[in-house]
Chain A
């Protein structure tokens, strides 16, 4: 089976909201969250999707 979309990492400032069993990056501020998400996007060749103000997921398409 070929997986077409996959959540590679979760970047958040609110650890309560993240899914289980995924790479999670807890951040202290929104700026830090955006910075980490931008770096992960470049590293992982994925897209940083914003689910809410405090939660980004990096998804491989």
Chain B
């Protein structure tokens, strides 16, 4: 036992709790099973340990010891690879796949959460040593709230208006509003599609969101989320019954066609509104300064 024992224990506990806390938020994105959870809690524990011991090593003027944080960086990059590989392999067996953009987003989130744990443990231990445990508890809580805020990300309802539209057939062509989705020839199949199908129109609120929802990965994420939450009327060997999202080229609206098991309009609208806007899909053409035009 020395003067650093309690601060270190405190930092590790806060960091690990922080990881558990953040693990709860991604249930819908990634239904973690028990073993998956254990992996992430264990890695969170290691991250917490690394963040914590950085402070005593600085206090003891062992500055070179801080270089092991670089080890942490490569370690957690490996976490991202692990998540990406697992999800990409599983994606082949999903009835409605997540898509690479969504998977990459989840993998990045898993990596960055470990860094947030390091940050939380770091500041908690620091304040414990410099002030006392009460200040440390307050700071730890603030760090957790900041982590939570950073992890939340944007929702689709912030950038688009979602509206329910009954899908319809014009000859063999399936339409959602005026957006052409696909060609389904057989009358029997058409009946099924009309019985189970639901159509939604996503109307972008501004020019930036128009490019964001045009992203194929973002559209696939919407289809995946709706299908996960409401079930999907589909099986292997029925390629005609596939949820699709197509774009109106004139005004950038996106027509989403899904085949849920449960036809609940209110719930579906809610789910679509809560689909995360994928970091990799976000485009901000208006951020470009027009004055810079031609200067590149």
Contact = CB atoms under 8 A, between A and B. Distances in A.
A42 B237 contact: yes
A9 interface: no
A49 B186 CA distance: 7
Contacts, number: 42
Nearest to B182: A47
B237 A38 contact: no
B183 A49 contact: yes
A56 B189 CA distance: 13
B288 interface: no
B237 A47 contact: no
Nearest to A42: B237
Interface in B169-186: 171-172, 182-186
Contacts of A34: 186-188
B239 A46 contact: yes
Interface of B is mostly: loop
A45 B182 CA distance: 16
B237 A48 contact: no
A41 B240 contact: yes
Contacts of B183: 47, 49-50
A17 interface: no
B14 to A, nearest CB: 51
B184 to A, nearest CB: 7
Contacts of A42: 237
A34 B186 CA distance: 6
Given A34-B187, A38-B188, A49 B172 contact: yes
A49 B174 CA distance: 11
Which residue, of A38, A50, A51, has the highest number of chain B Cβ atoms within 10 A?
Answer: A50
Contacts of A61: 239
Contacts of B237: 42, 45
Contacts of A57: 185
Nearest to B188: A38
Nearest to A37: B186
B239 A37 contact: no
Interface of A: 34, 37-38, 41-42, 45-51, 56-57, 61
Q: What 6 A-B pairs have minimum CB-CB distances, sorted nearest first?
A: A50-B185, A50-B172, A48-B185, A49-B183, A47-B240, A56-B185
18 contacts: A34-B186, A34-B188, A37-B185, A41-B189, A45-B237, A47-B184, A47-B185, A47-B239, A48-B184, A48-B185, A49-B172, A49-B183, A49-B184, A50-B171, A50-B184, A50-B185, A56-B186, A57-B185
Given A47-B239, A48-B186, A50-B186, 20 more contacts: A34-B187, A34-B188, A37-B186, A38-B186, A38-B189, A41-B186, A41-B189, A47-B185, A48-B185, A48-B240, A49-B183, A49-B184, A50-B171, A50-B183, A50-B184, A50-B185, A51-B185, A56-B185, A56-B186, A57-B185
